[in-house]
Each structure stands twice: as C-alpha cells, then as structure tokens.
Amino acid sequence: MKKRILSLVILSFMMTTFIFTGCTKKDDQKPVTSDNGDTEQTGEFKPEDGAKLKLWMDNDDYNIRIIEAFNKKYPDIEVTVENVSTTDTRGKLELAGPTGEGADVFVAAHDGVAISAESGLILENIEFADKVKEEFMDNAVEAASYNGKLYGFPLTIKTIALFYNKALVDKPVETWDEMFEFAKKYNDPSKNKFALYWQANEPYFAHMALSVNGYEIFGENHNDKTKLGWTSPEAIKGMEFYKTLKDIFPVPAQDCTFDAMNNAFVEGVAPYVITGPWSIKSFTDAGVDFGVTALPKLNGKNPISLSTVDVACVSSFTKYPNASKILADFMASEEGLKIMYETKAELPASKKMQEADFIKADEHLSGVAKQAAYSLPMPFIPEMANVWDPYKKAFTAVWDGLLQPEEALKNAQEEFESSIAK
C-alpha cells in the first residue's frame, strides 16, 4: 500500500502542472496565498462572515461526531462532509480545486504534504504554527512541514510495533538477544511453529534493521536524494543484522505475508508478530489476549521504524481561509483528537494526548505510542517513490540467501540512481 501511494507522487505533480498551465478558465477559483513572511500570531483569529466549508474525511462516524462538536463551538460556520479516502484527497483536489468544487479542509497522509505545498495546493499554517510545534510530537511536526515551513495540522501517527500473545508470553522480550534465545526454545520447523512472524522482506517493516545500526535514509535530514546511503557502512552493517533475523523466522521471503502473520497470531501459533495499529481490531475481534510494546532493542538502541502521519490541510482554493484553519485546528484539538480516537481507534500525534488517561488505559495504542516515539515519518521527497522496488529486491535477495548484504545493497543503490536519472 505504501509503495502504491508513494508511486503516485510524480504523476500527481505532472497532473498538477497540466491543470495550472493548460486548463484555467476565467471563472476558475483562484488560489489563496499565505503571507510567507514572519507573521506575528495573534490571540484572536476570527472566521469570515457566512463561511461555508466542505471537509473531506474517510470515516462516517468521525464525520458526524466532529461536525456536531465543531458546530457547538462555531454555530455560524456551516460545514458539509464528503467521505473521501486520505489516499485520494490530494489527487481529487488537483482536479476539483480550480473549479471551486474541492474541499476547504481535507485529511491526507503526510507523504503528500511536500508535493501539495510545492504545487500550491495547500496554505501554510502560520497562525497556529507555534501551537502545533509546542503540542505535537517533533516527528509529527516534521511530517507536516516542507522547506522549514509548517503546512497543515498533524492528527494521528501510525507505525509498526511488537505484538505478543499473552497466552504464550509471560513478559515480552526487550532486546533482540532475548528474542533469539526465545526462538531457540520455541521454534519447531516441522510444525511450522516460529517465535516471530512478520513481513520480513517488505521495506516498511524491514527498514528498522538498518536504522538500528545507524543508517539514515536520504541523509541526516532525510531530504537529500544524493544521500540514499545504501552502500554506507551503517547500511551494510544493518543488512548483516537483518540477515540473522532469519534464524528466528526461517521461511522463504514469499511466505512472509500479512495473511501468514495474521493467521499464525489469531490461531495461537505465533507468540510475537510485528505489525501496526491496523491489526488491533482484527486481533481483538478474534478474541486474542495480546499486548503491544516497542520493537526490541539492539545493543541498547531502539530501532527507528517508518511511520505515517495523517495531516489536516487547508486548500489554497478556499474562499474562507480563516474559517478553514479554525476547523483544522479544532480537528487537531484535544476534543477533536479524542473523537478521532473514539471513532477510528487511531493514536493522536499530540504529546499531551498520548499521556491522557484514556490512551494510557488503552494498552494496545499505548504500546504503539512507545514505538512511535522512535519512528521516522516516511521521507516525502519525490524520489522516495523510487526507493521501494530496489529496497525490496535487496531485502528479498539477502533473506533468501541469493546475495550477500553488500552486493544486494550495491545493486539496489545502482538501480535507484538509474531510476532518478531518467
């Protein structure tokens, strides 16, 4: 899924260029421009008279609840909602925005923020910037930013974590050394019984093996296409570690599927799985008594997992920029994020909300939060779309013993460089 979303980035940019250069009508809606200077934030920010807003969001229960709560506080702002997937909002706005038919506020995965900002689809968040930077996780703020400027309002964060079956595990492992020792006692290949199941060759999951050994994708700031770094000593060391993980889960890469992992956990075969909050409902519905915690440490270091942040953005085509930002800010408020949690069971990206009693009482999401603190929002430079295929080929080749780590990464690096040179 991640690969599909990211592969659309360049296509979306091309579509946007076409729209703005070749399809403008005299009566088209003109984009609103933000003041990009050093604007002093004020304590009073009022909506425009007669503001009528359209919100795009992908959950009917949330849509109803958030508008009811918002209208209690802002009865003079009229809001209508359309159920639009977060993966589709940017592309739909590219088409509908210029005609005045697009949303005023929409929610999108953070990997679309950069291209949306670059192509002029969204407004800079000036008025609420200090508030967002103070209240939200640093990595969530980073995910909602581009070229040092904040765009939008971070809402929720998703990442992988370690899930464990309480019927099979008294106390979850805290280190990879402990996991290896557990596997030696538990594994029984003749019964297809292994300590840990996970999508081992999928980059979104496997990246943590390189990160825990110091690898930084696209450099320290994760935005330099010339610093992918797959041939670095840190990446090679990480891939060497990744190779050893097959001792825990000795199956071919093609069998490291989501279904295999899910079934093994639900059936009580797998003590541990690596997955994300998207699995919580299915495990709960299946009656599994399980816990969630951070990924095991290696040499005292926490693995850095990839994460996705959902961001509320304000369209540059809106006729009501003030009212739109007030709505987006409300969605990112404590009240709005609690509604998000209650209707979508997602982890708020707010530092304070992660310390809230209702989150702490939710042992599953609080476990995800432990790992989220050590997560990196997927880099959202356009070249990230060129990462996934060669990255997966490298992981697969090493996992199946077809190539040694250094050679696999060298091949992947060359494939990446060739793809971005075209």
What is the DSSP secondary-structure string of 165-184? ETTT-SS---BHHHHHHHHH
40 lies in some domain: no
226 within domain boundaries? yes
Bridge partners, residue 297, by sequence: 175
What's the CA gap between 35 and 132, in Å, rounded? 18
Q: How far is 194 from 396, CA to CA, in rounded Å?
A: 19
Answer whether residue 257 is part of any domain: yes
Residue 165 belongs to some domain of the structure? yes
Domain range enclosing 294: 159-306+380-421
- Answer yes or no: is 359 within a domain: yes
Cβ proximity of 213 and 298 under 8 Å: yes
SS3 214: coil
Span 132-148, mean pLDDT?
93
Q: How many domains does the structure of the chain reveal?
A: 2
Q: Across residues 244-249, what is the average pLDDT?
A: 98
Say if 37 falls within a structural domain.
Answer: no
User: Between 405-421 and 388-399, two packed helices, what is the crossing angle to 10 degrees?
Assistant: 160
Average pLDDT over residues 261-269: 97
Tell whether 164 is covered by a domain: yes
Say yes or no to pLDDT of 35 above 90: no
The predicted structure's pLDDT at residue 90? 78
Residue 323 lies in a domain: yes
Of 422 and 53, the one with more pLDDT: 53
Comparing 25-34, 256-265, 347-356, the range with the smallest average pLDDT is: 25-34
Q: Which two tokens stand for residue 225?
A: 């296409």
Chain-centre distance for alpha carbon 286: 26
> Is residue 169 domain-shared with residue 144, that is, in the same domain?
no
DSSP state of 315: B
Residue 44's pLDDT band, with cuts at 50, 70 and 90, is low
Is residue 286 located within the same domain as residue 384?
yes
- Name which residue leads in pLDDT, 191 or 36: 191
pLDDT tens track for 149-198: 999 999 999 999 999 999 999 999 999 999 999 999 999 999 999 999 99
Residues 77 and 150 in one domain: yes
Task: Say how far apart CA 267 and CA 234 lie, in whole Å.
Answer: 38
Q: Is the pLDDT of residue 82 over 50?
A: yes
Looking at the structure, tell me whether residues 136 and 12 fall in a common domain.
yes
Q: Are residues 96 and 171 in the same domain?
A: no
Do 300 and 322 reside in the same domain of the chain? no
Residue scoring higher pLDDT (292 or 59):
292
Same domain for 319 and 278?
no
CATH number at residue 87: 3.40.190.10
In a shared domain, residues 136 and 182: no
Which of 28-42, 53-67, 234-248 bottoms out in mean pLDDT, i.e. has the lowest? 28-42
The percent of residues in the chain predicted with pLDDT above 90, rounded, is: 76
Task: Judge if 211 and 315 occupy the same domain.
Answer: no
The predicted structure's pLDDT at residue 95: 86
Helix H or strand E encompassing 55: strand 52-57
Q: Decide: helix, strand or coil at residue 251.
A: coil
- Same domain? For 76 and 176 the reply is no
Burial of 38 (0-12, 13-18, 19+ CB in 10 A): exposed
The answer to whether residues 109 and 236 belong to one domain is no
Phi-psi region of 166 (alpha: psi -120 to 50; beta: other; left: phi over 0): alpha
Q: Examine the domain organization and report whether 348 and 204 are in the same domain.
A: no
d(CA 171, CA 163): 12
Q: Indicate whether 29 pLDDT > 80.
A: no
d(CA 384, CA 378): 8
